[in-house]
Amino acid sequence: MNDLDKEKRLRAVEQSYLKLENTILQENRDTRLLFQNTIQNQWDLIKSRDAAVENDKSRNYDLAKSNLERRTELAIKLLGTGGLLYLCIQLLFEWISK
């Protein structure tokens, strides 16, 4: 083998090495981008889940508050007008008079 053949082989090896290095670098970039996108999607899912949980808590609170307000309003109407109290007193007098 002469020096010219050795030089050609050396250049071919160097070019092959550069192609391999570029391929590895590109794969690393693609892998890093894939992981970044996956992590971003996971954070978006976590944020959506947290927002849904918060909305559920708020809805449950509003429902409990509404139920309490309805019961309180009913009790005030029954006791406030004296209708229930009057009925109890009337039944008591009827029972005593018998």
Q: Which DSSP string do the residues of 5-57 spell out, in sequence order?
A: HHHHHHHHHHHHHHHHHHHHHHHHHHHHHHHHHHHHHHHHHHHHHHHHHHHHH
pLDDT the model gives residue 34: 97
How does residue 4 score in pLDDT terms, banded at 50, 70 and 90? Answer: confident
Q: Which residue in this structure is represented by tokens 């109290």?
A: 85
**Taking 70 as the threshold, does the pLDDT of residue 1 lie above it?**
no
Global pTM reads: 0.54
- Rounded to whole angstroms, how far apart are CA atoms 38 and 32? 10
Q: Is the pLDDT of residue 90 over 90?
A: no
**Overall domain count for the chain:** 1
Structure confidence by residue, pLDDT tens digits, 35-85: 999 999 999 999 999 999 999 999 999 999 999 999 988 878 777 766 777
Please give the residue range of the domain that contains residue 11: 3-97
